[in-house]
A and B are shown apart, each in its own frame.
Chain A
Amino acid sequence: AQSVTQLGSHVSVSEGALVLLRCNYSSSVPPYLFWYVQYPNQGLQLLLKYTSAATLVKGINGFEAEFKKSETSFHLTKPSAHMSDAAEYFCAVSSPSSGSARQLTFGSGTQLTVLP
């Protein structure tokens, strides 16, 4: 079984400030981990993914995330927030196995607000 916990359903930062969105996972097998972004009334866009290669993963729009096995975490960061980063962010876990383990299990999402 696998699950994801996103700490903080709402996060507010000032423009130019550090963005930190927290994600902890639970998985009985080595996980694949993902961050997706959803802008209002739009679909899900992949920001970045970890698939057992480098533990520090760089994604689009200046975001990155670090896989920490000891902490079972995959927190998303961006050094300097832009107004355009305001959106809903989802952390998700799957595994490289076949069958039902391949499914993506999502966290409950974090709404990021960027203040001018």
Chain B
Amino acid sequence: DTAVSQTPKYLVTQMGNDKSIKCEQNLGHDTMYWYKQDSKKFLKIMFSYNNKELIINETVPNRFSPKSPDKAHLNLHINSLELGDSAVYFCASSPSTGGYTFGSGTRLTVV
């Protein structure tokens, strides 16, 4: 009955590969997000979707593409992975009244 679930929890892959991270929320929230936490633990928003519509797209390389098949899912696909993509990626969701619930994170390591 996890509220926001991400898979996989750990992802180790080689440079140049393409990978996806999946996120699902069962809270009925209308907005979902992807955040990136770098090695210094700084958290920065990447994307936000509201009811399957992209509303925030920060300065993120085109290699990163979010996809929201429905209101409860927001996946992140990354093409041509680079060493600098290594980070922890967090999915989150929120209702219109505020209050954010985060997933447990996906630790991506590019070697």
Contact = CB atoms under 8 A, between A and B. Distances in A.
Interface residues of A, number: 26
A42 B31 CA distance: 22
B99 A100 contact: no
A34 B94 CA distance: 13
B111 interface: no
Interface in B11-61: 31, 33, 35, 40-45, 48, 50, 55-56
B45 to A, nearest CB: 5
A67 B1 CA distance: 33
B98 A103 contact: no
A36 B37 CA distance: 14
A46 B90 CA distance: 14
B31 A102 contact: yes
Contacts of A36: 102
A44 B99 contact: no
Contact of A88 (B41, B50, B94): B41
Nearest to A94: B98
Contacts, number: 62
Interface in B87-102: 90, 92, 94, 96-102
B104 A103 contact: no
Contact of B100 (A98, A99, A104, A108): A104
B73 to A, nearest CB: 18
Contacts of A46: 99-101
Nearest to B91: A43
A94 to B, nearest CB: 6
B66 interface: no
Contacts of B102: 36, 43-45
Interface of A: 32, 34, 36, 38, 41-46, 49, 51, 88, 90, 94, 96, 98-100, 102-106, 108-109
